[in-house]
Chains A and B, each alone.
Chain A
Amino acid sequence: MNEKLRNVVAEVLGIPVGQVTESTSTDTEDSWDSLRHMNIIFALEDAFGIRFTDDEITRLVSIAKIEEIVAGKVRDNPEQ
């Protein structure tokens, strides 16, 4: 799942997937601006069939956080 997730983020940011690590965040990637943040949200929602809450959206600022939150949501909605 994390591999799929990192592929989604890498594609939106336009960087090689190898460059996406657990510590990748809005602070380490210049291209991760507010517009790309929105695109990451939509791409993840589309890829995993989930919907983030307002609170989650503000917290999704690093790969570590994204992996944690997406894993929780997919676990809660196994039919997705």
Chain B
Amino acid sequence: MSSRGAVDIWLIRNFTIEPMLPLVEREFRARGLEPALRVGGFSEAHADVASLSSDIGSASNPRMVVLALCLEQFSASFGHHDWECEAACAHVLELAEFAVANTSATIVLNSALPPLAPVHGFANVGGKLDHMSRVEALNLALRKLAVANPGRVVLLDWVAYARELGEADTYDRRFWYTSGLPFSQKFLRRYTRDLAAIAELMVGKVRKCVVLDCDNTLWGGVIGEDGIDGIRLSDNSVPGAYFREFQRCILDLRARGVLVALCSKNNEGEVFQVLDRHPHCLIRREHLAAWRVNWNDKAASVIEIASELNIGLDSLVFIDDSAVECERVRDACPEVLVLQTPADAGRLPSFLHEQAPFPALAVTEMDEKRAAAYQEGKAREEFKAAVTDLNEFKTRLGTWIRPRRVAPADVPRVSQLFQRTNQFNLNGIRRDASAVEEMLADEGCLVYCADVGDKFGDLGLVAVGVVWRSGDGLLMDAFLMSCRALGRDAEFAFLNCLLAEAQARWSSAAEIRANYLPTARNGMIVEFLHQAGFRHTAGSGDGDGGYVGTLPELMDINERRFVEIKETQ
């Protein structure tokens, strides 16, 4: 069993990347990742890409192939009048396309840096596209390759790094011509940071919620002292406009599925006066998934917010202007990513772009609906509080599930669930998009999923189960459900549908074994396995035997009358 955090990385490159390797080791280890690095030959990018079809790395770890290819190294005349730009661009694109077609691993590409200035000045020569345009065309083609393979092919934007750093800090000419390394340490560090962020997502470390302070974070000044007319928040004057722009950045995050919560030491009424009534406040009450506006310790409030939203502390990003509050939360909850806002409010609009605390490999339709789904969750909780009898609650909630085999269109969302689900998860094994596709292609494997909903709304695709034919019996190798969907018997109904489908497919199999593995967070799955009728067995030889059950018996136990089973349209 691989440890959580292990990633196999194959670096295919056409420049001297060795000085980046210590940076990779350091950055990855600082994030709890264990990189197993393999570096391709200096002038063997073509041969290395050609060999990609064979197996790489140990099959149990997430696999990342990094194509670190730069135009600067394809020819000494890069950017000059005699540069064969078209051929160099075609070569890079060819390598990228071959890699995408021939390995199932996650592939990380990069945009190419164009020369700083066109060789002919302002002139167009011979009616032909100049070098700059050809590099732009290459970058667009690479972008399209990434877009066509969501969640599996990632394009890191070197051009954006160069804009951030400026030309002087992008290149280091001292080693370019003599040692084959055009790039500065700053540039390589920036690149490394993004590689580490991708690896974190691949091993399932996903940040889900931003927890925001209010005074001097969402607006300038202190609401309790300055009042609603005195705080700085404006659409046309500074510094109020900086805070408004920062709020826009927060809403950008919300639009792609990040939950927004407030943690402020204030009187709740005063804060909501701003959210409900201030003409330039963009973040409104309905955008919030949770809030703690009171005078309690912020670390305690942060823990309460995580608990209310049913997510781990390691899913939170805490943002505050106060060094004291940041230190307090960092100290009490080291799992939380703590960011202190810059003292200069003018830097707020670019602050989140620089910190990039919420990287994403794929944004699915589910992400766009998630914030609204949490809103429905609040209505559901209030309904639950009003209906005291649990069975009556379940009946009146009108829970339904729509089970079905996973289709190719579901793959991004299914692999995202594998990466995001920590608590109700049979074994915590992460499966990326290519791993899911491999299971779909396997005759001996049933990959099943379900949408779940109720009278308050449709939660979308929130449950996944995988059953393999194994000898005479069956092996349940994955069973997971988003925590938002728990507590209304949908998990039992989904298990039953999964078992029924497996029985229909492999009628001779009667026994099913659940491949349970303990992780730091999946304690609740053990209770579920017992309730669902699985028996714990001692292992033969060196390990835990896991949980087993027989099909007719399990299907009897997991029949759920409160949950409606809908047909797939």
Spell out A's residues near B (CB within 8 Å): 12, 34-35, 38-39, 42-43, 45-46, 52, 54, 57
Cβ contact within 8 Å between A35 and B16: yes
Min CB gap A32→B, angstroms: 14
Find chain A residues with CB under 8 A from B126 CB: none
Binary CB contact string for chain B from 149 to 185 against chain A (1 if under 8 A, 0 otherwise): 0000000000000000000000000110001010001
Indicate if B18 sits at the interface (CB-CB under 8 A): yes
Question: Is B185 touching A42 in the complex (CB atoms < 8 A)?
Answer: yes
**CB-contacts of B1-38 with A (<8 A):** 16, 18-19, 22
B174 and A54 within 8 A (CB): yes
Residues of A within 8 A of B181 (CB): 38
Residues of A within 8 A of B185 (CB): 42, 45-46
CB distance from B178 to the nearest CB of A (A): 9
In the complex, the number of residue pairs spanning A and B with C-beta atoms less than 8 Å apart equals: 22
Which residues of A sit under 8 angstroms from B179, Cβ to Cβ?
34, 38
User: Complex: how many Å from CA A57 to CA B18?
Assistant: 18
Residue of A nearest to B184 (CB): A42
CA–CA, A12 to B179, complex, Å? Answer: 18
Is the Cβ of B22 less than 8 Å from the Cβ of A38? no
Q: How far is the CA of A35 from the CA of B174 in the complex (A)?
A: 14
Measured between beta carbons, the chain B residues less than 8 angstroms from A54 are 174
Q: Report the separation of the CA atoms of residues A59 and B181 in the bound assembly, to the nearest whole angstrom.
A: 20
9 further A-B pairs in the complex, CB-CB below 8 A; given A46-B185, A54-B174: A12-B22, A34-B179, A35-B19, A38-B16, A38-B18, A38-B19, A39-B18, A43-B22, A45-B185
Min CB gap B21→A, angstroms: 9
Shortest beta-carbon distance, B169 to chain A, in Å? 12
Shortest distance in angstroms between A31's beta carbon and chain B's nearest beta carbon? 13
Closest to B18 in A: A35
Q: How far is the CA of A38 from the CA of B175 in the complex (A)?
A: 8
Partner of A57, one of B19, B22, B174: B174
Contacts of B18 in A (CB 8 A): 35, 38-39
Residues of A within 8 A of B175 (CB): 38
- What A residues does B19 contact at CB under 8 A? 35, 38-39, 42
Closest 8 CB pairs of A and B: A35-B18, A42-B185, A38-B19, A39-B19, A42-B19, A54-B174, A38-B179, A38-B175
- Within the assembled complex, what's the spacing in Å between the Cα atoms of A60 and B18? 19
Q: Which residue of the partner chain B has the closest CB to A40?
A: B19
User: Across the two chains, which residue of chain A brings its CB closest to B23?
Assistant: A42
Q: Please, how many angstroms separate the alpha-carbon atoms of A45 and B175 in the complex?
A: 14
Closest to A39 in B: B19
Give every chain B residue within 8 A of A42 (Cβ-Cβ): 19, 185
CA distance A38 to B185 in the complex (A): 11
**Chain B 373-414 interface residues, beta-carbon cutoff 8 Å to A:** none
Complex CA gap A54/B174 in Å reads 6
**Chain B residues closer than 8 Å to A45, beta-carbon distance:** 185
